[in-house]
Amino acid sequence: MQSTSTEPRNNQPSTMHSAPSEAGRQRQGRLWSNLREVCDLLHITAAVSVNSEELLFQHVQFKTGQRVHTIGQAFDTLYIVNSGFLKTVLIDEFGNEQVLSFPMKGDMLGVDGIHTRHYASEAVALSDCDLILLPFKKLTALGRVHMELENVMYGVMSRELVREQAMIGMLGALSAEARVARFLVTLADRFAAMGYSSKLFNLRMTRHEIGSYLGLTLETVSRTLSAFNEIGLITVDQRTIGIKDAEALKTLRRLPPSRSRAKQNSAAKQKAEAGQPGDDQVLATTI
Amino acid sequence: MQSTSTEPRNNQPSTMHSAPSEAGRQRQGRLWSNLREVCDLLHITAAVSVNSEELLFQHVQFKTGQRVHTIGQAFDTLYIVNSGFLKTVLIDEFGNEQVLSFPMKGDMLGVDGIHTRHYASEAVALSDCDLILLPFKKLTALGRVHMELENVMYGVMSRELVREQAMIGMLGALSAEARVARFLVTLADRFAAMGYSSKLFNLRMTRHEIGSYLGLTLETVSRTLSAFNEIGLITVDQRTIGIKDAEALKTLRRLPPSRSRAKQNSAAKQKAEAGQPGDDQVLATTI
DNA sequence: CGCGAGATTGACTCGGGTCAATAGTAGTGG
DNA sequence: CCACTACTATTGACCCGAGTCAATCTCGCG
C-alpha cells in the first residue's frame, strides 16, 4: 500500500480510517495489537518471549483536529501512534500554543502525565490517526510478569528525554536557517524510517506550527524555505517539500558560533566571485 | 565495578566533605544510603515497605570541576545528588558547550544514558558534591522485588521530561528579560525546597553558563541582571543575588506574545507619567 | 464562485548578539 | 604582604537577524 510515499493512505474522508495497514486484528469490531507488535512499532528490540495473544491492546481512531488528551486531564493511559500525524502543545497563560513535538508512527504519547497523574501537554491529531492504548495500570501490572517490558519503558522514556535535550540545544544555539534545515533533515529521516520517501514528502503542519516548534515566526519559516528553494537545497510548493541537497542541509551551521568568520565574507569575497553564472546570492551570508 | 570514568572516586581526603549533613551511614570508610533515604531525597512518596538496611547505595564525592560522566561514555549507573551543584552540558561539533540543566540536591543524573547505553550528556561538578550511585543493573533487578521502585523511576523520568518541556516552551516563546526572571524565580524555589533562603543566595554558575542555559549571551544576562537591580526587583553583587520582588519577577511577561500592545506605550504614555519621582525608565519598554 | 485559512513577500523596527574596553576577584608564588 | 596572572563581570557602541505589520496570492471547500 504505502508504495510511493508522501501519502500513506490517501485521506478519504469519514471512511472508518480506510485500511488497517499494519498490525492489529479485529475483535469486537475493533483493532487490537499484542505486545510484540507494540515493541516492533517502538523499534525496541526486546525479546518478548510471551505468547502474548492474551495480552491485547486496543486501538482507537482520531480524526483530524481531534484532541487525544488535554492539559490537566487525569492521566491513565499512554498512547502509541500506529498511523497518522499529531502535534503536542503547551498552552501559556495567554492561550498561545507552544508546539513541543510532532509525533508520528512509533512515537509514544502521554508520558508527561505519569509524574503528576495529569497530562502536562495537549495532543492534537493533524491527520486521521490510529493510536494504540496502553492503560498505565495494566502496563505496570504487566511489568510484574514480563520484566522486558520495564526496560522497554525505560528505553522509550530515555529516548524521548534525549530528543528533548537535542531540542533545547537547538533552540539555544542555532540560527533560524539552521533550525529550519535541521527540521527538514529530521523529518526526512523520520519518513525514511517509516518506509516513505525522504526526498519528497508533505508537511502535515502549518508554517505557524513549524514556527512555534522551532521558536520562530511563520514569516521567518516561510522566508527561509523560499531561500532554500532559491539556492537549490529544496523545492517548495505549499506543503510539498522536495529535498535536493540533504548534505548541505545537514551541515548548514549557525551564524553565532562565537567569534570567527562573519566579517571576512561580507565584502572581501563578494567581488572575487563575479564569474559565477548562477543565482546564489540569497544565502551568501551563511556560506 | 570498573569505574572507567573520567574522575573516579577516592577523593574523600581533605575535609571528608565537611558535614555528612543528611542521609548515610559509614561502612568501610564510606557513606551508604538505603532505599528510603534515596526516595526521600527524590521527594517521592513511595511507601517503601522493606527493611532495606540490606539494600545500600554507595556515595561518591566529586570535587569542583570534576566530570561525573562524559558524552559517549558507557552507561551503567544513575546518580542522585545528595549535596552540591552541577551542570549538564551538550558539546556541539565545534566544542561549544550547551548547558542543559543545573542539577542539585534531589536531582537525578544519567537518565539520558539508558536509551543507547551511552551517556548523551556530560555532567560537571560546579562545587564539591556528594552523589549516590545507583547501578542501573542493580536497580532493575531490585524492581523485580520491590514494585514501588518501578513507579519511583517512572515518576522521576516523567518529572524530568516535564521540566524539559517547560524549558523548550521558555526558549521558544520568552524574551531575554522573561527568561532571566524565570531562571531566578525557579532557582529561588529550588533553594527554598532545599531549606535554604529563597531571598538571598549565591549563584554557583558563571554568566556564561547561565547564558548558555537560557539561550542568551553572557552580556545579555549581565545587562538584564543589572536592569533588574536598577528597578529594584533584585540586588546583584557578583554571584550574590537578593530577590526583592518575587511577584514582579514571576509575572514578567515576554515581549513577543503576538499582536497586542507594544506600540501604544512607546510614545503616548511616556509624557503622561512625569510625576513619578522614582527612577524607573530602564525597563520602561517592558512595562 | 466567493470565502477564509494558509502561504508568500516586502518594508520597517528593534532586541539582543558582537566587539571591545575596563574593572573587580581569586589563586599562586616570591 | 604584594605583585602577577587568569578568570569573571560590567558597560558602552554598533549593527544585523529576525520579529512586526501589512498587502497580496493561492488553494480547497461549501
Digit-coded pLDDT (tens) for B145-185: 777 788 889 999 999 999 999 999 999 999 999 999 999 99
pLDDT at A22 over 70: no
DSSP label of B15: T
Shortest distance between the Cα of B284 and any Cα of chain A, in A, equals 22
B97 touches chain A (CB under 8 A): no
A155 touches chain B (CB under 8 A): yes
Q: How far is the CA of B256 from the C1' of D2 (A)?
A: 52
pLDDT at B16 over 80: no
At A183 the pLDDT is 98
Identity of the residue in B100, B111, B173 whose CB atom sits nearest the CB atom of A168: B100
Identity of the residue in A96, A165, A173 whose CB atom sits nearest the CB atom of B92: A173
Read off the pLDDT band of A60 (50, 70, 90): very high
A238: the nucleotide nearest its CA (via C1') is C7
Identity of the residue in A96, A113, A120 whose CB atom sits nearest the CB atom of B173: A96
B24 touches chain A (CB under 8 A): no
Read off the pLDDT band of B287 (50, 70, 90): very low
Strand residue runs (E) in chain B: 25-27, 30-34, 56-62, 67-69, 77-83, 86-91, 97-101, 108-109, 122-125, 129-135, 200-202, 234-237, 240-243
Comparing A79-88, A116-125, B55-64, B104-113, the range with the smallest average pLDDT is: B55-64
Q: Which nucleotides of strand C lie under 7 Å from a protein CB?
A: 6-11, 14-20, 24-25
A175 touches chain B (CB under 8 A): no
Highest mean pLDDT: which range of A133-142, A256-265, B176-185: B176-185
pLDDT at B132 over 70: yes
pLDDT at B233 over 60: yes
Read off the pLDDT band of A163 (50, 70, 90): very high
Question: What residue has cell string 566579517?
Answer: A263
Q: Which nucleotides of strand D lie under 7 Å from a protein CB?
A: 8-13, 16-22, 27
A256: the nucleotide nearest its CA (via C1') is C17
Burial of B278 from C-beta contacts in 10 A (0-12 / 13-18 / 19+): exposed
Identity of the residue in A162, A215, A257 whose CB atom sits nearest the CB atom of B112: A162
pTM: 0.83
Q: Are A194 and A105 in contact (CB under 8 A)?
A: yes
pLDDT at B271 over 90: no
Read off the pLDDT band of A55 (50, 70, 90): confident
Shortest distance between the Cα of A185 and any Cα of chain B, in A, equals 17
pLDDT at B225 over 80: yes
Read off the pLDDT band of A25 (50, 70, 90): confident
pLDDT at B120 over 70: yes
Q: How far is the CA of A9 from the C1' of D27 (A)?
A: 22
Choose the mutation target among B88, B163, B168 for the interface with A, i.e. most A CBs under 10 Å: B168
At B76 the pLDDT is 97
Q: What is the mean pLDDT of chain B?
A: 82
At B251 the pLDDT is 92
Domains of chain A are: 25-172 (2.60.120.10), 175-270 (1.10.10.10)
Rounded mean pLDDT of A164-192? Answer: 97
B-chain residue closest to A148, CA distance: B140
Instruction: Report if CB A215 to strand D is under 7 Å.
Output: yes
Rounded mean pLDDT of B259-272? Answer: 35
Comparing A57-61, A234-238, B26-30, B135-139, the range with the smallest average pLDDT is: B26-30
pLDDT at A5 over 50: no
Higher pLDDT, B15 or B201: B201
**What is the gyration radius of the CA atoms in chain B, in angstroms?**
22
Higher pLDDT, B57 or A13: B57
Read off the pLDDT band of A258 (50, 70, 90): very low
Identity of the residue in B92, B100, B140 whose CB atom sits nearest the CB atom of A150: B140
- Which residues in chain B have Cβ-Cβ distances shorter than 8 Å to A100? 165, 168-169
Instruction: Report if CB B261 to strand D is under 7 Å.
Output: no
Q: Which helix (H) or strand (E) element contains residue A79? A: strand A77-83
Instruction: Report if CB B219 to strand D is under 7 Å.
Output: yes
Angle between helices A136-145 and A147-173 in degrees, nearest 10: 130
B-chain residue closest to A166, CA distance: B90
Rounded mean pLDDT of B69-82? Answer: 97
Higher pLDDT, B25 or B215: B215
Read off the pLDDT band of A124 (50, 70, 90): very high
pLDDT at B209 over 50: yes
At B285 the pLDDT is 34
At A146 the pLDDT is 78
Separation of alpha carbons B129 and B125, rounded Å: 7
The answer to whether the Cβ–Cβ distance between A171 and B166 falls below 8 Å is no
Q: What is the mean pLDDT of chain A?
A: 82
B:119-148 residues touching chain A, CB 8 A cutoff: 120-121, 140, 143-144, 147
Rounded to a whole number of angstroms, the distance between the first and last alpha carbons of chain B is: 57
Cell numbers placing A14: 469519514
At B144 the pLDDT is 78
Read off the pLDDT band of B281 (50, 70, 90): very low
Q: How far is the CA of A222 from the C1' of D24 (A)?
A: 15
Burial of A4 from C-beta contacts in 10 A (0-12 / 13-18 / 19+): exposed
pLDDT at B49 over 70: no
> Residue A172 to residues A230, B98, B209: CA-CA distances in angstroms?
27, 7, 12
> Residue B237 to residues B216, B232, B241: CA-CA distances in angstroms?
20, 13, 7
pLDDT at A7 over 50: no
At A230 the pLDDT is 95
pLDDT at A31 over 50: yes
A-chain residue closest to B164, CA distance: A164
DSSP label of B254: P
